[in-house]
Structure 1
Amino acid sequence: MARVRAWCGAAALAVGLGIALLCGASVAGADPGVESEPGSAAVSGVARGSDDTGPSKPTQGVSRGRPGIAAAEGDAAAEDDADVLVETPAPRHVKTAAARTSSNPGEAVVDALLGAAQAFLPEPKIPDGSRVTLGRSTLEIPCGCEGTRVDATWYFPNQDTEPDGLIYLQHGFFRDNRAMSALAVDLSERTNSVVVTPTLSSNFLTPSGCWINGEPMQQAVAALFEGDRRALTASAFAAGYATTLPRRYVLSGHSAGGGLAVAVAVANGDDENLAGVVMFDGVTTTAERMSAALSVLPPRVQVLQIAAPPSPWNADGATTAALIAARPNEFVGVLLVNGTHIDAEGASSDALARLFVGVPTPANVEAVPAIAGQWISTLLAGGRVVGAPAHPVPGATAVPLQYGPPGPSRQPSRSFVPQG
């Protein structure tokens, strides 16, 4: 029943958003929003990178340059691939995945709803005073017969020291990577990490299975971290990052993006560079799927959840309950009191999501990156997370999760309670 309610809720949101936005934003929904050639990149407030999808070979051994600079002077290999450095504003959102055409009427309808539902998400921006820089490019994901090219936004910490790690941050169902922008900036700064936020399709009618909950897509994302990480390196280079990406990485995601992060972790469980998984009210398609994933994931790979109270938007907390049940004797995360499913989106959310899901409190919005930043820094350093502050910021309360008796609804998915 929890799964049915979750899908019904998603369908209701899709229909509601589609009607509202298709009436008032048909132009925005139809505009593919591409203002640069595929594979090109621009960096907010810094120089433009290569117009190619990346270097002819991974930039192993390239001396570190400031993010946004295509190459350091004297680096012949990088200079050959770099454009003349110019100042340019960040482009509008690139909808490489959603802009495709389809011969399947049902798939086309869902694509139209996706475009409408995402039309009012705000464009990414870097807050005043932040040292983080933003770059855009495309990312080649080996999903489907010909692969899938998706929009990717990169956030570079731009500090004096080498980055401590790489964070893969995935948006939720029916969203795109703009919804993760505020969180990405905050995490990049707090953890001194490079953050990449790809846009994956939410079209469940895609024949190839290359959508956010599809196993082919999950396996394809896992493949990005294998070997020399050629696709990630090329995408980062095209976004303006002219040095080697950090080897150690954390997988993270909001809602369905959290479910994808867990699936990728299962595929890459033997990778010693995988530091851990952090979910932001993460949701898998079924609780059984989460349980199965955790049964094969090595115990050394910690899976952490910043949960909101059970609701239709997180499948009545089924994924959180499965996580607690699978690892009952260890710390698995916290519940934010009075939290909402979109706390992690923060300033990057939109009015329609707040209308349907609820308005997050400013304190909880601030608490999400405060908690996650501490966890990710610990994981990247090779440590193990054992808790979180009860009051990470003034006005927010985070309580550890533990397994408890079923709630009044008698639904097993409600069988987690905060520990007092």
Structure 2
Amino acid sequence: MHLRGPGLATIAVLAALLAAPEAQAADRLPGTIDIPCAATVLEQGADWYLPAGPPRALVWVQHGFARSSGHVGALASTFADAGYLVFAPNMPFMNLSGCTLQNIGDNTAFLHDVAALFGTASAPGGALSTSLADAAHRAGRAVPAIPERLVFVGHSAGAEAVAYVAERLRTHHLETWNTLRGVVLLDPVRSFIGNNIDRALDGISGTDLPTLTISAPPSPCNSFGIGTLAVRTRLDRPFLGVLLPSGVHTDAEGTSSDAMGEMLCGISESVNSSTLRRLALGWMGDFVAGTRTPDFYPAAPHGTVPAAPAAHILTGY
């Protein structure tokens, strides 16, 4: 979520004070994650979602501006039900040291540290594996192994963050980059300060990393579509994703949204939130398996996607 205007700080604080909705998955394990921030370490809340069997991949699901992991709980549950191990951390939207999800000064050092979480994901004693182990132990659950294969999914400002972290893996954590199977951007929002998403997409564009987008029409909450514009001008791909013509910014949150999100950014129609989940799951499955299922892609550059026939195809400018 992203809004202009002098009321931004007040709205953000009110949004943060509202209780995040409870996630629906029975296997949601609440926990924490330690992330370096300047000379300190932030202990952030983080939810883990465990699949019923061996996980197909680790999926990082990142919420949007002034939101929390609970607001993407329904989405994370859907992914876990499909066999993925899901990591959904809370990221700050205000921090005097610049350790924020969106760029309100210079958050690049913080995002470098977030990238390092994944660069050391399988290392004994690494922050990510420690977070999972602690959450599992508190819940009395066996600790699953973190899969080697990764998928990143980000909503709103979280989309900019996951794209930037993906590019950071390419330049500084090559071994982990080689295990990243794809990125899904959900109504991406570009920060007004800096050029994080531009730099990220420029770097990714020269690779074969699948990067696909599901957008809503321009609105104040998605900064009038400037994140989607960045995708369309920076990524050199024949198919960039889809725009849901009756979509709203909260489609990614679906039933996990709240009164504040719906009042400011619209109430998601069930057809749109279900289409978003269907496409995201279809693409992720192809990312991980190395396949291309025809239902989730247009047969021709300006055709339709069978799994979302009402959606508009996103292509480059």
Cα distance change on mapping 1:247 and 1:329 into 2, 3 Å: closer
Look up the equivalent residue of 1:164 and give its one-letter code: R
Distance 2:143 2:58 in 1: 15
2:237 and 2:155 map into 1 onto residues whose CA distance is 25
Query: What does residue range 1-400 of structure 1 map to in structure 2 within 5 Å?
Result: 7-8=3-4, 11-12=6-7, 14-15=9-10, 17=11, 114=13, 117-126=16-25, 133-159=27-53, 162-190=54-82, 192-203=83-94, 206-213=95-102, 214-227=107-120, 228-229=122-123, 230-240=126-136, 241-269=142-170, 270=174, 271-286=177-192, 288-297=195-204, 298-383=206-291, 387=297, 390=305, 392=307, 397-400=310-313
Measured against aligned partners, the alpha-carbon deviations of 1:120-169 in whole angstroms (never above 9, x if no partner) come to 4312233xxxxx6111111111232122111010101113xx21100001
- Give the superposition deviation at 1:390: 3.2
- CA distance in structure 2 between the partners assigned to 1:349 and 1:322 by the alignment: 26
Residue identity in the other structure for 1:8: R
Q: Structure 2 CA distance, aligned partners of 1:212 and 1:254?
A: 11
Tell me how large the CA RMSD over aligned residues is: 2.2
Pick closer, same or farther for the CA change 1:365–1:7 going to 2, 3 Å: closer
Deviations 1:216-264 (A, max 9, x none): 2211110001133411111111121513110111111110001100010
Map Cα deviations across residues 396-419 of structure 1 (whole Å, 9 max, x no partner).
722210245xxxxxxxxxxxxxxx
TM-score by length of 1: 0.64
Deviation, 1:115, is: 6.0
Cα gap change, 1:300/1:157 in structure 2, threshold over 3 Å: closer, same or farther? same
Encode CA deviations 1:187-213: one digit per residue, 9 max, x unaligned.
1212x110011001101xx23211112
Does the 8 A contact of 2:238 with 2:316 survive in 1? no
Determine the C-alpha separation between the residues in 1 that align with 2:21 and 2:3: 26
Letter in 1 for 2:24: K
Residue of structure 2 in register with 1:62 after alignment: none
User: 1:292 and 1:139 mapped to 2: Cα distance?
Assistant: 27
Instruction: Count the aligned residue pairs.
Output: 290
Larger Rg: 1
Letter in 1 for 2:187: D
The letter for the 2-side match of 1:237 is A
Mark the runs of 5 or more structure 1 residues left unpaired by the alignment: 1-5, 18-112, 127-131, 405-420
Q: CA 1:398–1:377 in structure 2 vs 1: closer, same or farther (change >3 Å)?
A: same
If the length of structure 2 is used for normalisation, what is the TM-score? 0.84
SS at match of 2:313: strand
Residues 288-329 of structure 1: CA distance to partner in whole angstroms, max 9, x if unpaired? 542322222241222211101111211221121221222344
